[in-house]
Chain A
Amino acid sequence: GQNIDQPTEMTATEGAIVQINCTYQTSGFNGLFWYQQHAGEAPTFLSYNVLDGLEEKGRFSSFLSRSKGYSYLLLKELQMKDSASYLCAVPLNNQGGKLIFGQGTELSVKP
């Protein structure tokens, strides 16, 4: 079976750094996605990791450890607009490439 775990919610201060963790158990592995979802809106792509290590993209970075079944999303220089839900998702190893999503981590950025 497949299982993805993320903290339900986190709070951080504007300008700070926050790390959102994700652990997964899947029967196969084809990489891991992070999506951002503002309330009432669609998920939007943030990052994709398939190899171990850190991928940096501006204020956002994503890390993967395949041996530990672990990923994190790092957000630097937090802005109020970063308040959103952050979704960890894995594609399964079959045709169609469906995504299995975690519950999402609701991040609140305070002034």
Chain B
Amino acid sequence: EPEVTQTPSHQVTQMGQEVILRCVPISNHLYFYWYRQILGQKVEFLVSFYNNEISEKSEIFDDQFSVERPDGSNFTLKIRSTKLEDSAMYFCASSEVSGTYNEQFFGPGTRLTVL
């Protein structure tokens, strides 16, 4: 069964460093998303991406964040200068269609720890 994959599973970094989180969405999906979940808190939307551009972003997704689809399979989230509060689980998701019915398939997540 097709699935969303993410690497690495765990990333530890120093405050101020840049990190790139990688995702391979399901191959025939067109819509891609990043969410994050701080420990003990709810899943929060960061950004959605379609047709090689950002569709929507939340207020969390400030200038320190960027997304890219560098080739036909990968979808990346970059944090330029990490802060302690960026420590969270980051989930990538993808879906076939947007609009009303939009089952999003989630990857296993990358746990980011900023020291």
Query: Are B31 and A97 in contact, CB atoms less than 8 angstroms apart?
Result: yes
Interface positions of A from 46 to 96, Cβ below 8 Å from B: 48, 50, 87, 89, 91, 94-96
> Is A13 engaged at the interface, CB distance under 8 Å to the other chain?
no
Select from chain B the residue with minimum beta-carbon distance to A45. Answer: B103
> Is B107 engaged at the interface, CB distance under 8 Å to the other chain?
yes
- Of the candidate stretches B13-21, B42-50, B74-82, the one touching chain A is B42-50
Given contacts A94-B56, A96-B48, A98-B48, contact A42 B91 (CB under 8 A): yes
Query: Are B31 and A96 in contact, CB atoms less than 8 angstroms apart?
Result: yes
How many residues of B are in contact with the other chain, CB < 8 A?
29
Interface positions of A from 18 to 48, Cβ below 8 Å from B: 30-31, 33, 40-45, 48
Given contacts A48-B103, A87-B43, A97-B102, contact A41 B108 (CB under 8 A): yes
Select from chain A the residue with minimum beta-carbon distance to B9. Answer: A40
Chain B positions within 8 Å of A40 at CB level:
89, 109, 111
Select from chain A the residue with minimum beta-carbon distance to B45. Answer: A98
How many residues of A are in contact with the other chain, CB < 8 A?
25
**A residues in contact (CB < 8 Å) with B:** 30-31, 33, 40-45, 48, 50, 87, 89, 91, 94-104
**B residues in contact (CB < 8 Å) with A:** 31, 33, 35, 41-45, 48, 50, 55-56, 58, 89, 91, 95, 98-109, 111
**A-B residue pairs in contact (CB < 8 Å), sample of 17:** A30-B100, A31-B101, A33-B103, A41-B109, A42-B91, A43-B106, A45-B105, A87-B43, A96-B55, A96-B98, A97-B99, A97-B104, A98-B56, A99-B43, A99-B45, A101-B42, A101-B44
